[in-house]
Every structure is written in C-alpha cells, then in structure tokens.
C-alpha cells in the first residue's frame, strides 16, 4: 500500500497566474509515521514548532536552513518519490474545442496525467489538500475518473481519495515546497528583479542536490523527481 500526498498551485481558472502546477509525493504506507516523525524532529532541530506549517510562501532567509534540511531529507530517502505537472499558458485554453466547454474537465485531465503513471502497481490512498468548498465534489469526480481508467470499479487499486489540511501532513508540506518552487520558476520569478533571494537559493539548492532541470520534461524512467511540462494544443 502506498500513500500519495497531492497539492496544487494556481489551480483556479481566473487567478493571476498563467501556470498551474500539480504535484504529488508517494511513500510506502508503512513508513508514513517514520517520515512524519523524522520531519517533526528536523523542525525542532531548527527551532521550529512541530505544529508550524512549512510551505513555499513562507520561505525566508530566517527559515532557509530548515527548508534546506527538509529538501535534503527527501532526496536522502529512496522510498520518497515526487512527480509534478507544470501546465503552462492557461489563458490559451480553448475549452469549447478540447474540454467539452468546461475548465473542470481540463483540470481532471491534468490530475489524471499526474496520478496515472504513479498508480500502476499496488494499492493507493490519495490525500489532497483542501482548497475550496467545492473540494468534496472534485475528489469524488477524480476518484471516478482515475478508477474507471484502470477498470477499478471495486476500488481495489485506488482505495480512496480524501481531503486533508496541509498542516496535518508533513509530507504534504514538502509537496507544497516543491510545487511552489516549480511555479516560481515557470512564472519567470527565479532570479527576476526583486525576487526573493531565499527562494532563489532554495531552488539552486534543489538543483545542486539532484540533477534536475526545471525547464525539461523528465524521462519516463525518472522516478525520484519527475516533471512533465504541459502546453495547450495550438490550432
């Protein structure tokens, strides 16, 4: 059994960003408690309360050391795997042609592209960060789409998909850090004028620890940190 912790950035149709990022960290279910406890210990070692939610928007020079420690912890543990989809140029989407006139249909297609490759072998429990009051409906639809694609009508593969709050999950917080970094990079903020020096340094640190080019689609064989960059079809 595997747990998958999903988060999303700039996922609304009419938000300020033309880039949406979905991300997921997978871990063996039996190791979840160990990972959570280890991450809480890392927080304490850096003077951060275990109740303190760490996320990309809170990256700052004063807290950079704890964020680097969490990133290193992820890369030091082979059982932890991350996958993200960077969906670019949302403003160019033509839902009337490709998505039955509905932004939500596109949203589920992208979520399917995120989760399908990492739910092929085994059983899975999927946890999604609560974002809005429509979340329950979205979760039910996502489970339907994902399960039907695998002929999993008895939910033997996709055991369930649940909403949780990110402060309840240490691994969800690392997912948030990674998708935040990808969104920051693909929105053109990385080393842009006036951008956060701490966030720039954290992205540099990620790419130093592991050979990742944030601007390149990962090969199918890349399991540790996999990136897929999606662009809308052009007429």
Per residue in 37-85, pLDDT tens?
999 999 999 999 999 999 999 999 999 999 999 999 999 999 999 999 9
Look at 9-23, 37-51, 209-223 and tell me which has the smallest mean pLDDT: 9-23
Output the CATH code of domain 2-230.
3.30.420
pLDDT at 95: 43
pLDDT mean across residues, the chain: 87
pLDDT, tens digit, 9 for 90 and up, residues 17-45: 678 899 999 999 999 999 999 999 999 99
pLDDT at 168: 81
pLDDT, tens digit, 9 for 90 and up, residues 175-196: 999 999 999 999 999 999 999 9
Q: Give the pLDDT mean for 86-103.
A: 61
- With tokens 């589920």, the residue in question is 108
- Rounded to whole angstroms, the Cα distance separating 120 from 210 reads 25
Greatest mean pLDDT among 8-12, 43-47, 98-102, 135-139 lies in 43-47
Please tell me the pTM assigned to this model. Answer: 0.90
* 88 vs 218, higher pLDDT: 218
Phi, psi values for residue 23, rounded to 5°: -140, 160
CB atoms within 10 A of CB 140: 11
Q: Kindly state the greatest CA–CA separation across the chain.
A: 54
pLDDT at 131: 65
pLDDT at 74: 98
- With tokens 């279910």, the residue in question is 29
Q: Give the pLDDT mean for 213-234.
A: 90
Tokens of 141: 């639809």
pLDDT at 165: 82
- Rounded to whole angstroms, the Cα distance separating 84 from 94 reads 23
Q: Nearest 10 degrees: CA dihedral of 83, 89, 94, 97?
A: -40
pLDDT at 114: 94
Q: Give the pLDDT mean for 83-89.
A: 91
């Amino acid at each position: 059994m595997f747990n998958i912790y999903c988060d999303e950035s700039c996922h609304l149709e009419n938000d300020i960003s033309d880039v949406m990022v979905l991300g997921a960290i997978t871990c063996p279910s039996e190791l979840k408690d160990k990972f959570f406890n280890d991450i809480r210990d890392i927080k304490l070692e850096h003077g951060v309360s275990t109740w303190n939610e760490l996320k990309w928007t809170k990256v700052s020079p004063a807290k950079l050391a704890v964020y680097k420690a969490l990133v290193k912890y992820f890369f030091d543990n082979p059982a932890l795997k991350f996958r993200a989809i960077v969906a670019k140029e949302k403003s160019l989407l033509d839902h009337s042609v490709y998505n039955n006139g509905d932004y939500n249909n596109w949203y589920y297609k992208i979520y399917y592209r995120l989760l399908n490759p990492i739910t092929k072998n085994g059983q899975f429990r999927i946890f999604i960060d609560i974002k809005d009051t429509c979340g329950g409906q979205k979760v039910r639809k996502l489970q339907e789409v994902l399960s039907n694609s695998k002929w999993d009508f008895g939910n033997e593969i996709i055991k369930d998909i649940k909403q949780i709050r990110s402060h309840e999950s240490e691994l969800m917080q690392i997912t948030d850090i990674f998708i935040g970094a990808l969104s920051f990079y693909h929105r053109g903020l990385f080393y842009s004028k006036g951008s956060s020096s701490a966030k720039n340094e954290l992205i540099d640190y990620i790419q130093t620890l592991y050979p990742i080019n944030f601007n390149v689609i990962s090969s199918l064989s890349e399991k540790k940190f996999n990136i897929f960059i999606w662009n809308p079809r052009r007429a």
